[in-house]
Amino acid sequence: MSDADLGRMLLEAHRALAAELADEMEARGYPDVRPGHASLFIHIDRRSGTRLTELGRRASMTKQGMMLLVDDLESRGYVRRVPDPEDARAKVVRLTAHGRRAAAECRRAVLAVEARARRAIGDRRYEVLREAIDELAASREVEG
């Protein structure tokens, strides 16, 4: 077994799943969708769109980081910034038709990666893994 520290191992496992997600998206006809893009596709409201700050909050990203992501996806034709119907001074990020197809595919790709991970380690360990990770995050919140 690896003797790396747990923090490092968690990062490497994250990267392995992110690489699988990129492969899945490529196989589904979206070679330009990178793992980072999934953070937006998964968190954006499908029809009405979502404000930038709210997207950042849901994805645990800074507003700055989410802005770069939106710029990138806008230049690829996946999203547009449009005036917020509830507040004309604000903007929401909304999926284009192309973006809605990509987002739907991305959700399926995430599920496929998830199912493969579950098979790879078995149901029981998969459940313990999720539980343990949740508790790690919670113990940090309590102590912090």
Binding site for a second copy (CB under 8 A): 1-2, 5-21, 35, 39, 42, 60, 110, 113-114, 116-117, 120-121, 125-126, 128-137, 139-140, 143-144
C-beta of 90 vs 133, nearer to a second copy? 133
Cβ–Cβ under 8 Å, residues 113 and 21: yes
Considering the complex, what minimum distance in angstroms separates the CB of residue 86 from a second copy?
27
C-beta of 87 vs 131, nearer to a second copy? 131
C-beta of 97 vs 120, nearer to a second copy? 120
Cβ–Cβ under 8 Å, residues 65 and 53: no
For the chain, how many residues are written?
Answer: 144
- Strand locations in the chain (E): 79-84, 87-95
Considering the complex, what minimum distance in angstroms separates the CB of residue 46 from a second copy?
17
Cα–Cα distance for residue pair 15/21, rounded to 1 Å: 10
Considering the complex, what minimum distance in angstroms separates the CB of residue 30 from a second copy?
17
Considering the complex, what minimum distance in angstroms separates the CB of residue 91 from a second copy?
26
How many H-runs (helices) and E-runs (strands) does the chain carry? 6, 2
C-beta of 20 vs 73, nearer to a second copy? 20
Cβ–Cβ under 8 Å, residues 50 and 91: no
